C-alpha cells in the first residue's frame, strides 16, 4: 500500500522511529492531541501567531488553549512559555512559522522540567533543522502535505514520533478506533482520517524531489533579499515556505493579488478568531498581523523580480 510506503519513507526522512499518515494537516494536529488521551480541559500552550488549525485542534479535542504571544521572528516567544504553565498544563505546541524554526532546546528544557509533551506544528517546515536535528523529531511532529507545502500532494498529513506505543494509538484512532479485533466495539473515540493511496503516490513523488525544491526556495529567498531594502526584511528562514516581509500596511496584498501576484496576509492572532474571541496576550502578534505579508518562493527568478517590481511600485 502506497500510504504505508510513505510512512516508512517519511519517518526515515525526518529521522523518527515511526510515522502515521492522515488525510490532512489539521487531522494530524487533532489526532495527535486526541491520542494523548488527556483529561478534558487539560491546558495546552498554543502560539498566537500561527494558522488557526493549530488552535482549533485543541478545541476539537475538548482541551483548553493557553495562548502565548510571538517574538519579533513571529515564533512563539519561548521566554513567555514558563509563566503560562500551570498544574493543568499537559502539552507545549509550537509552530515553525514560514520555515523559521523555534528554539527547541528551550522548549525541550521546559517540557522536561514540567513533564510535558511537545507537539511541533511543522506544516510549513519540511526539511528544516534545529541544531542539525530535523523538526518533527523532538517528541510529536505534525505535518501537512497540502498542495502549497514544501512536500506536497493535493492533501494529506502525518504524525511522526519515536514513541511507538503512542503511534499505535494514533493509528487506531485515525481508523475509527476499530481496535485489533474489528468487532464494532469501539473503546475510545475515533476518526475517519485515513490517507488514500492516490494521495500517498503524489506525496512520495514530491518527497523524491525535496532537495531540488529546497534549493530553489533558498535561491529565490536570497534573490528577494538582494533586491528588497533591508527595511522590509524579516529574520532568515531555514527552508523558506514563503518569503515574508514587513510593510507599513499589508492591505496592499489585495492590490497585488489583482495584479496576479500570489501575495498573502500574515496570520491574525488566533485567540481573536472564533470560537475564542480573546485579545489577551496579543501585543506583538496583533502588531505583526497588520504589517506582515508574504510572497511566493516556489517560482522562477523572473517571477521574483516581477513580484518585487509590482510591490515596490505600491510601496
Q: What residue ranges define each of the domains in the chain, with the CATH number in brackets? A: 2-207 (3.40.640.10), 210-314 (3.90.1150.10)
What are the start-end ranges of the H helices in the chain?
A: 2-14, 25-34, 52-60, 104-114, 164-174, 197-208, 210-227, 252-258, 283-291, 301-314
Mean pLDDT, residues 95-118 taken together: 98
> What's the pLDDT band for 98 if we cut at 50, 70, 90?
very high
> What's the pLDDT band for 1 if we cut at 50, 70, 90?
confident
Residue-level pLDDT at 145: 98
Residue-level pLDDT at 152: 97
Supply the pTM of this predicted model: 0.97
Residue-level pLDDT at 219: 98
Helix (H, G, I), strand (E, B) or coil at 204: helix
d(C-alpha 52, C-alpha 74), whole Å: 15
d(C-alpha 3, C-alpha 168), whole Å: 16
> What's the pLDDT band for 172 if we cut at 50, 70, 90?
very high
Residue-level pLDDT at 133: 97
Residue-level pLDDT at 305: 98
Residue-level pLDDT at 73: 98
Q: Read off the pLDDT of residues 289-312 as tens digits, 9 standing for 90 and up.
A: 999 999 999 999 999 999 999 999
Mean residue pLDDT across the chain: 97
Q: Read off the pLDDT of residues 49-74 as tens digits, 9 standing for 90 and up.
A: 999 999 999 999 999 999 999 999 99
d(C-alpha 161, C-alpha 231), whole Å: 39
- Say if residue 157's pLDDT is above 90: yes
% of the chain surpassing 90 pLDDT: 99
Q: Read off the pLDDT of residues 187-211 as tens digits, 9 standing for 90 and up.
A: 999 999 999 999 999 999 999 999 9
Whether 170 and 191 have beta carbons less than 8 Å apart is answered as no
d(C-alpha 295, C-alpha 162), whole Å: 35
Amino acid at each position: 500500500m502506497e500510504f504505508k510506503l510513505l510512512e516508512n519513507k517519511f519517518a526515515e526522512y525526518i529521522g523518527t522511529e515511526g510515522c502515521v499518515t492522515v488525510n490532512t494537516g489539521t487531522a494530524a494536529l487533532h489526532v495527535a492531541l486526541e491520542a494523548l488521551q488527556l483529561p478534558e480541559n487539560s491546558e495546552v500552550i498554543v502560539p498566537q501567531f500561527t494558522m488557526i488549525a493549530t488552535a482549533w485542534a485543541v478545541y476539537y479535542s475538548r482541551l483548553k488553549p493557553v495562548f502565548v504571544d510571538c517574538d519579533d521572528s513571529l515564533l512563539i516567544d519561548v521566554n513567555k512559555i514558563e509563566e503560562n504553565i500551570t498544574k493543568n498544563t499537559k502539552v507545549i505546541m509550537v509552530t515553525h512559522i514560514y520555515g523559521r524554526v523555534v528554539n527547541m532546546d528551550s522548549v525541550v528544557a521546559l517540557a522536561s522540567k514540567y513533564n510535558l509533551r511537545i507537539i511541533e506544528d511543522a506544516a510549513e517546515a519540511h526539511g528544516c533543522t534545529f541544531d542539525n536535528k530535523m523538526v518533527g523529531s523532538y517528541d510529536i511532529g505534525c505535518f501537512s502535505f497540502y498542495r502549497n507545502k514544501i512536500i506536497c500532494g493535493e492533501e494529506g498529513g502525518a504524525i511522526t514520533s519515536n514513541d511507538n506505543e503512542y503511534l499505535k494509538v494514533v493509528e487506531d484512532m485515525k481508523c475509527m478506533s476499530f481496535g485489533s479485533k474489528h468487532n464494532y466495539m469501539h473503546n475510545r473515540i475515533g476518526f475517519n482520517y485515513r490517507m488514500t493511496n492516490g494521495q500517498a503516490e503524489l506525496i512520495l513523488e514530491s518527497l523524491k524531489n525535496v532537495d531540488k525544491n529546497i534549493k530553489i526556495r533558498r535561491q529565490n529567498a536570497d534573490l528577494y533579499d538582494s533586491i528588497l531594502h533591508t527595511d522590509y526584511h524579516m529574520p532568515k528562514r531555514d527552508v523558506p515556505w514563503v518569503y515574508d516581509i514587513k510593510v507599513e500596511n499589508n492591505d496592499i496584498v489585495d492590490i497585488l493579488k489583482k495584479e496576479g501576484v500570489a501575495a498573502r496576509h500574515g496570520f491574525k492572532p488566533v485567540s481573536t478568531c472564533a470560537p475564542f474571541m480573546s485579545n489577551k496576550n496579543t501585543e506583538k502578534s496583533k502588531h505583526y498581523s497588520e504589517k506582515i505579508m508574504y510572497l511566493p518562493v516556489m517560482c522562477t527568478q523572473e517571477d521574483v523580480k516581477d513580484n518585487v517590481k509590482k510591490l515596490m511600485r505600491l510601496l
